[in-house]
A and B are shown apart, each in its own frame.
Chain A
Amino acid sequence: MTDGYRLQNVSYAYEEQSPVLRDLNLVIQPGEFYGIVGPNGCGKTTFLDLLVGGREPDRGEIYLDDRLLNSYPRRELARRVALVPQDFAIGFAFPVAEVVLMGRHPYINRFGLPAAHDRELARQAMEFIGISDFAGRKVNELSGGEKQRVVVARALAQDTRILLFDEATSNLDVRFTLQIFNLARQLVREKGRTVIAVIHNLNLAAAYCRELIFMKQGKIVCNGPIDQVLKSEIIEDVFGVEANIAIDPFSRTRQVSYRYWSD
């Protein structure tokens, strides 16, 4: 089974504005951990929207498993790709367990009830993230970090081969951030899932991703395996900051350090 994306000359523009995404060409292999990095407003979130099928490209084609993305019915696509969005406001006071169970929505018939299998997957997802303790609490009473973990659990319950994270850990402290990233890493390594994550923290990206995609002003500046693309000249080009990359002896990963100021 191949769950790869293939993008050909993809462009996207909001109404009567200059394009947000320009001429993207990219192949995303299954079973890898991808990181998308770039400055604010460079089109990363729009890019994820295209991958999840929430928007359609103005020009060019996106293929998923060698089939045009917009030829998938929505429900079928939702069984292949899950999204952990940046904003996770939940309008009404649903209990946590019900929100996680909503991840099973693409599998449940319109008038049917969730099967035992659906409930089991939701339970497992909650246990995996470690939120079983507050399964009965109302979701709007949770703290920002707790809510975000509920949303991650919901995406896990969706049980898709591909998981998209849109800055999913921006509201979490370092412990939960590492927990979520380790979990994603585990899914990639043990279950062959594909993770595509928009990440602001370059050091997190460097530690977890096998492949990096650098974006700037709606274009892909460069992409490839981390050891080939994580370079100080690329970081300077994309972010406009001076950086140095070295193997950190403690974590044994590539880490970026910045020139914070120059006196």
Chain B
Amino acid sequence: MLLAVICAIILAAGLGYMEISVSDIFRVVWAKISGNMNSLTDIDPAVPFVLLDVRLPRILTAALVGGGLALSGVVYQGILLNPLADPYTLGISSGAAFGASLALLANISLVGCFSVPFAAFAGAVATLFVVLRLSSFNGRMSANTLILSGVIVGAILSAGISFMKYLADEQVAVIIFWLMGSFASRSWSDVLLVSLALVPGLFMTFFYAGDLNILSLGGRSAESLGVETGRVRLILLLTASLVTAVCVAVSGIIGFIGLVVPHLMRFLVGPDNRRLLAVSVPAGACLLLLTDTITRAVLPVEIPIGVLTALIGGPFFCLIFRRRQQGVQYD
């Protein structure tokens, strides 16, 4: 799977307005790593610039965000015991978007270029806590009330975002375009930001993946099997929300990756979360990178990637959903 990601990255790096051959990609990257840029005299001087400062940051961000969304999807689905769950069901994406919109609208620049991600993260975590508070009784959470609370809070936040769009006047285009999701003009700082969230997130989820399996038996059974249900759920939800928030902050709302990828991978490798994580994260990276490459290099006009994933993923998902329901009926 990792190999597939690397291949996809190389493939995507070559495509675009300026075609770059695979050998040139390797030479430029190697020259950069070895610090010996003078060896590239026979290559068009624009190539290293396009590759290193424009394409690679964008490609890596897309891959990392894809992996991050898939990771969040696995975690949310595992905890909510619902194969149709994703960051939206919990209202986390809306919370992050709300925070980021607020920052964009108010033009807050407290922490420099990190202010939008920071606001998104604050929004996501605040939403998470409101949702958790709404859905826990007697110190316990139930998966059903968690989804309901998420939907309620998400609806309120969406209304809030609409209100901000209404208020935004001339700035509305910025918010709308960002909300639809885009990887255009991503920089190395975005790559760094997403990696900072994704790498610890991966460690955390792998650490608790075995417990997540047991959690699919239900909270009570999991507890009687020695899993600290409340703590594992909280840590995993926090981890996934952080990853989601950073993804939303960097690229806007990109739907269906977190939903479709874990779902499809479950068909392939079964429900064991350890295996599921190991394949879903690279698969999410490949899928989003591929989609982004299509919007960037194949389509004549660049359309927002969030729109594209929804347009491709939505019907595809309906199909799977129908087939599943039919299977259940004929049992």
Contact = CB atoms under 8 A, between A and B. Distances in A.
Interface in B208-241: 210, 213-214, 216-218, 220-221, 223-228
Interface string A170-182: 0000000000000
Contacts of B227: 74, 105
A239 interface: no
A196 interface: no
Nearest to B276: A92
Contact of B207 (A53, A90, A98, A110): A110
A91 B216 contact: yes
Contact of B138 (A14, A78, A85, A106): A14
A78 B270 contact: no
A79 B226 contact: yes
A210 interface: no
A48 to B, nearest CB: 9
How many B residues touch the partner, as a band? 20 to 34
How many A residues touch the partner, as a band? 35 or more
Interface string B126-169: 00000000000110000000000000000000000000000000
Contact of B225 (A76, A90, A103, A111): A103
A246 interface: no
B186 interface: no
A106 B225 CA distance: 6
A102 B213 contact: yes
B44 interface: no
B272 interface: yes
A85 B207 contact: no
Contacts of B81: 89, 91-92
Interface in A160-217: 164
Contacts of B220: 49, 54, 83, 85, 87
B272 A77 contact: no
Given A49-B220, A92-B271, A74 B210 contact: no
Contacts of A85: 218, 220-221, 224
A55 B223 CA distance: 10
A151 B223 CA distance: 14
A75 B210 CA distance: 14
A151 B220 CA distance: 13
Interface in A41-92: 49, 52-55, 74-79, 81-83, 85, 87-92
Given A94-B271, A110-B207, A83 B224 contact: yes
Interface string B260-291: 00000010001110000000000000000000
23 contacts: A14-B138, A15-B138, A52-B224, A74-B223, A75-B226, A76-B226, A78-B224, A79-B226, A81-B224, A82-B224, A85-B224, A87-B218, A87-B220, A90-B218, A91-B81, A92-B81, A102-B217, A103-B225, A105-B210, A105-B225, A105-B227, A110-B210, A111-B210
Given A15-B138, A88-B221, A91-B216, 11 more contacts: A53-B223, A74-B226, A78-B225, A83-B220, A83-B224, A87-B220, A88-B218, A91-B217, A93-B266, A94-B270, A94-B271
